[in-house]
Amino acid sequence: MISKKMVKQMSEQMKNEFFSGYYYLSMAAWLEAKNLSGFANWFRVQAQEERDHAMKMMNYLVRVGAKVEFLAIEAPKVVFESPMDICKKTLEHEQLVTSLIYKLMDTAQEERDYKTIQFLQWYVDEQVEEEENASGLVERLKMAGSTEGGLLYVDNEMAARVYTPITAE
């Protein structure tokens, strides 16, 4: 049986994952308004992935017999300074999410909740990829420099990203 403490923390993280999706959609909208549709595409795909992360958590809670709680999601920031600002904020956000996943894992380990530990390992692994992707965005923009041509090259590269749903539980 999953503890009430674990369910509460996972419900909070489910909310955080949905918030991440909103946050990335706000970035996509800002980028689209700046005619950077490739970047906007990348962030739309990222938003879909975050929704998947939240749904995966919800499905797990249902499977283990927990009462799923849906918490209010705050409105994300919608004004940014530049594509670099967005990419740096993305990296910072993913680092925050990693720390939150680690706190979930700490609780599961303290409670010797082995099935939840196994479940959360997917998120630990996923966060390696999320931070790597966000860091890669920052580095590509640094390499592109402040030229419009460099920015458009990266924008074109970002347009190639496609949504791939996570595997079902």
pLDDT digit string, tens, across residues 122-154: 999 999 999 999 999 999 999 998 788 989 999
Average pLDDT (12-39) is: 97
Q: For the chain, give the percent of residues with pLDDT over 90.
A: 91
Of 89, 88, 84, the residue nearest 151 (C-alpha): 84
Average pLDDT (25-54) is: 97
58 vs 14: CA distance, rounded Å: 7
Q: Where are the alpha helices (DSSP H) in the chain?
A: 4-33, 37-63, 83-110, 114-144, 148-158
- CA R_g for the chain: 17
pLDDT score of 57:
97
142 vs 20: CA distance, rounded Å: 24
Sign of the Cα torsion 105, 48, 42, 20 reads negative
In sequence order, the 6+-apart residues with CB closer than 8 A to the CB of 92 are none
Conformation bin of residue 157: beta by default, left when phi > 0, alpha when psi is -120 to 50: alpha
pLDDT score of 168:
55
pTM, full prediction: 0.93
- Site of tokens 């402040």: 146
64 vs 161: CA distance, rounded Å: 34
Q: Give CA torsion, residues 20, 79, 88, 144, to 10 deg.
A: 130
Q: Which long-range contacts (CB under 8 A, 24 or more apart) does 137-146 make?
A: 137/42, 137/87, 137/90, 137/91, 138/84, 138/87, 138/88, 138/91, 141/83, 141/84, 141/87, 142/84
